[in-house]
Amino acid sequence: SFELTQPPSLAVSPGQTANITCSGDRLGDKYACWYQQKPGQSPVVVMYQDDKRPAGISERFSGSNSGNTATLIISGTRPMDEADYYCQAWDSSTVVFGGGTKLTVL
C-alpha cells in the first residue's frame, strides 16, 4: 500500500529556513498538500496541489513536489510556526497521511 514518510522531528532557529520533507513512491505524480496542527487545535491546510497557498497563509510558506519527495518550505521561521506538520496525498481512492513532523523553533 502507498505510504508517506516524514521525519518525526525538525528543529530550526528563528529566522532560518525549515524544509519539511514527505517521501512516497512516485509522489511527484500525485498532488501533495500540507496541514499545520498546533497543540489542542484542529489541523489547518497550509499548502495544496503541491505549491498553492490558501488565503490567509503567510507567504513564508511554499511547497514543491517532484520525483518521490514533496517539501514544505518555511522561510524566516518564527516561534509561531512551531507545530506538527502532516503531508497528505490520494492513492487509489484512499487518503494517505504522513506520520507528521514536529517542528521546533529553538
Q: Which residues contribute to the site for another protein (CB under 8 A)? A: 31, 33, 35, 37, 42-45, 48-49, 54, 84, 86, 88, 90, 93-100
User: With respect to another protein, which residue has the nearer C-beta, 21 or 31?
Assistant: 31
| CA dist 22 → 55, 56, 78 (Å) | 23, 23, 21
User: With respect to another protein, which residue has the nearer C-beta, 16 or 43?
Assistant: 43
| CA dist 77 → 27, 34, 74, 92, 106 (Å) | 26, 16, 6, 35, 10
CB of 41 to another protein, least distance (A): 9
Q: Which of 90, 87, 89 is nearest to 45 (CA)?
A: 87
CB of 64 to another protein, least distance (A): 16
User: With respect to another protein, which residue has the nearer C-beta, 73 or 96?
Assistant: 96
